[in-house]
Amino acid sequence: MAVSAGRLMFQAGSRTIAGNLGGKFLHCTMRPAQGGALPPAGDYEILPPVSDPIYGRLAVMAPVGGLGATKDPDKAVSSAVASAVSSAVSTSVVSGFLEKPDTTKSAAGGQVFVLSDRPVLGRNSIVVSSGFADLMDALQTSGGARVRVA
């Protein structure tokens, strides 16, 4: 699984993600969950979506190098997937519930966010209010993405 050649841009001011990913032009609007924050400026990896029986499809967004750090950008997302599930993000399901470890920080100290179509309790959740299905499909097809928050 390699990072897609397409890059996305997250405009914090307008709260949109836009770009070409997996052959699709995406334009999504989003908002932080109540009491949540938007990610600080910088480069992030969005991992391929996972399915949770309670919250549905989710995608984790972490600082580049924050999960499964690697010097090879083509392997960054795939190595992050393995470590995200086991350490920083712990999206494993126990008795049908998402585990509750601290998922606000990555191994490198940067904030980790969860993109979803509804708030995810106990997480730095960013709710994608329009374009959610297209975003998840493109992330699944491309195996993840890089996004720059400006």
Please state, in angstroms and rounded to a whole number, the distance separating the CA atoms of residues 142 and 6: 9
Which residue carries 């997996």 as its tokens?
22
In tens digits, the chain (150 residues) has pLDDT values of 344 446 899 998 899 999 999 888 999 999 877 767 788 888 999 999 998 888 899 999 999 875 544 444 444 444 443 344 333 344 333 333 344 444 455 544 568 889 999 988 877 889 999 999 999 999 999 989 999 998
pLDDT at 140: 92
Q: What is the DSSP string of 16-46?
A: EEEEEETTEEEEEEEEEPTT--PPPSEEEEE
pLDDT at 117: 92
User: Is the model's pTM score more than 0.75?
Assistant: no
Contact (Cβ atoms closer than 8 angstroms) between residue 96 and residue 54 = yes
